[in-house]
């Protein structure tokens, strides 16, 4: 299951998120999204867990959980819908 995690402190590292989620089961991958130009975290990311039951349990347990002073937003991630690209100015 792919999990969205948001409202992350910009200083949170992928390893910290992985350690947090591993309490609930095997974590296949963690990716915090960064700005292409600055490399700074955008404050959200995605976690892949192989076992759906473990992933759902993690989501339930970590709703409103606080990490580095910010309450997490965590839920199942869904594929981005096809939509027209916005022009870049």
Q: What is the CATH number of the domain that holds 9?
A: 3.30.70.330
> Domain count of the chain?
1
Listed in sequence order, the residues at least 6 apart from 62 whose beta carbon sits closer than 8 Å to its beta carbon are: 20, 21, 72, 74
Average model confidence (pLDDT) across the chain: 92
Q: How far apart are CA 27 and CA 30, in angstroms?
A: 8
Q: Are 23 and 49 in contact (CB under 8 A)?
A: no
Q: At 10, is the secondary structure helix, strand, or coil?
A: coil
Query: Cα(68)–Cα(3) distance, rounded to whole angstroms?
Result: 20
Answer yes or no: is 81 within a domain: no
> What is the value of pTM for the model shown?
0.85
Assess if residue 89 is contained within a domain: no
Per-residue pLDDT at 16: 96
* Half-sphere exposure (Cβ direction) of 20: Cα atoms closer than 13 Å: 20
Span 38-51, pLDDT tens digits: 999 999 999 999 99
Q: Which domain holds residue 28?
A: 2-76
């Amino acid at each position: 299951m792919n999990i969205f995690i948001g409202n992350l402190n910009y200083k949170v590292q992928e390893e910290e998120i992985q350690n947090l989620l591993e309490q609930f089961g095997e974590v296949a991958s963690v990716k915090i999204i960064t700005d292409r130009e600055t490399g700074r975290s955008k404050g959200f990311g995605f976690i892949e867990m192989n076992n759906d039951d473990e992933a759902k349990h993690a989501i339930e347990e970590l709703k409103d959980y606080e990490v580095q002073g910010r309450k997490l937003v965590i839920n199942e991630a869904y594929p981005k819908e096809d939509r027209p690209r916005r022009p870049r100015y």
